[in-house]
């Protein structure tokens, strides 16, 4: 079993993600430079957070045209579990793998704070060990984290159970307080909060268990654990 972590120029949570995957959850991890092709022997792909291309033009938009994306799209179609965190979520949205857009926070500032998100869909490869309405203490750190979609899209998201996480309270102006969504098939998940920053007790001031379940879910969907 192998998880690929895609590294774009300006990614900066790539090594954090690698640490959590390989040191904490003992998953074999491979760092994938965005210009190299996506290897065939992967079982899951994670797009980490950061400032790909310095957030120029719009967060994630340049990376969405990176050579790695076509490979990721193919894997997505095949149903491979794909997770985008923060900038990774922005890239998935810009690449058209997830609907909607991520806009500037209503505070117009970068926000780094701990919050709680609520699980709304526990059928995805990243949430299957969590309970519906379970709360996850987790930090956000973004300037463009306000999820936006038009009414029609929001209706579809609700209908298809594509809303995966919501914030427990209004935090940045996101439509329906959305913190994370998935595609219709459920294998591609994007979320603004950082699970890799919350999955170890030593850095999580509240409770690291719920966030660690996001990774445990991945282990389960890869058949590595129950």
Partner 1 sequence: MSLTKQEYTTLEKKIGRTPNKLELQIVAAEWSEHCSYKSSKKHLRILPREGARVISGKGYDSGVLDVGDGYVVTIHIESHNHPSAVEPYGGAATGVGGVIRDILSMGTRPIAILDGLRFGDIEKDSHARWLFKNAVKGIADYGNCLGIPTVGGEIEFDKCFTNYALVDVAAIGFGRKERLIKNKVDKDDFVILIGGATGRDGIGGSQFASDTLKSENRSAVQIPDPFIEKLVIEAILEARNQNCIKAMKDLGGGGLSCAISETADALSVGIELDVARVHKREPGMSPSEIMVSESQERMLLITDRQKLSVLKKICEKFRVPYSVIGKVKDDKMMQVKVETNTIANLACNIVANAPLLDREVSEPEYIKKMKKVKKPNTPRNLSKILLKMLENPNIASKIWAYGQYDHEVGIRTVIKPGQDASVLRLDNGKFLSVKIDGNSKHCYINPRDGAVGCFEEACRNVVCTGATPIGMVDHLQFGNPEDPEIFWTFRQSLEGLTEFAKYFEIPCVGGKVSFYNETNNGPIKPTPLIGVLGLIEKNSPFVQKVANGDLLFIIGKTKDELGGSEYYEYIHHIVGGVCPVVDLKISKTNMQVVLEIIKEGWANCAHDCSKGGLAIGICEICINYETGCMVTMDKIQQEKLRSDETLFSESHSRYLLAVSPKNVKKVVDLLDARNVLYGIAGKFIGLRIIFKKNAKTVADLRVDKAREKWLNSVGQLVKHG
Interacting residue with partner 1 among 10, 160, 176, 220 (CB under 8 A): 10
Local structure of residue 164 (DSSP, 8 states)? E
**In the stretch 127-166, what mask flags binding to partner 1 with x, by CB under 8 A?**
------------x-x-x-----------------------
Among 4, 50, 60, 84, binds partner 1 (CB under 8 A): 50
Shortest approach of partner 1 to residue 24 CB, angstroms?
A: 10
CA pseudo-torsion sign 4, 10, 13, 18: positive
Q: Which residues in the 62-91 window bind partner 1 by CB under 8 A?
A: none
| Window contacting partner 1 (CB under 8 A); options: 68-76, 165-173, 194-202, 212-220 | 194-202
Q: Which residues pair with 32 in a beta bridge?
A: 6
Interaction between residue 196 and partner 1 (CB under 8 A): yes
91 with 60: CB under 8 angstroms? Answer: yes
Listed in sequence order, the residues at least 6 apart from 216 whose beta carbon sits closer than 8 Å to its beta carbon are: 25, 129, 225
For the chain, the first-to-last Cα distance in angstroms comes to 15
C-alpha span between 96 and 35 (Å, rounded): 19
**Least Å from the CB of residue 172 to partner 1:** 12
| SS3 label, residue 178 | strand
Told to judge if 196 belongs to the known catalytic residues of this protein, a careful annotator would answer yes
Residues making contact with partner 1 (CB under 8 A): 9-10, 12-13, 16, 19-20, 33, 35, 49-51, 53-56, 109-113, 139, 141, 143, 194, 196-197, 200, 202-203, 205
């Amino acid at each position: 079993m192998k998880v690929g972590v895609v590294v774009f120029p300006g990614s900066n949570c790539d090594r954090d993600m690698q640490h959590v995957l390989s040191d904490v959850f003992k998953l074999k991890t491979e760092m994938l430079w965005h210009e190299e092709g996506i290897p065939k022997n992967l079982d899951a792909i994670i797009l980490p957070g950061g400032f790909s291309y310095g957030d120029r033009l719009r967060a994630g938009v340049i990376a969405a045209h990176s050579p790695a994306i076509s490979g990721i799209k193919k894997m997505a179609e095949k149903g491979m579990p794909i997770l985008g965190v923060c900038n990774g979520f922005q890239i998935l949205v810009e690449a058209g793998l997830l609907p909607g857009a991520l806009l500037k926070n209503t505070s117009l500032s970068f926000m780094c704070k701990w919050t709680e998100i609520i699980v709304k869909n526990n059928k995805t490869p990243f949430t299957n060990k969590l309970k519906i309405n379970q709360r996850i203490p987790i930090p956000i750190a973004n300037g463009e984290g306000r999820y936006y979609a038009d009414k029609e899209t929001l209706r579809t998201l609700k209908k298809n159970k594509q809303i995966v996480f919501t914030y427990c309270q209004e935090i940045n102006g996101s439509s329906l307080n959305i913190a994370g969504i998935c595609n219709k098939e459920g294998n591609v998940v994007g979320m603004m909060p950082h699970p890799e920053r919350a999955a170890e007790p030593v850095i999580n001031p509240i409770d690291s268990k719920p966030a660690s379940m996001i990774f445990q879910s991945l282990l389960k969907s890869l058949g590595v654990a129950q």
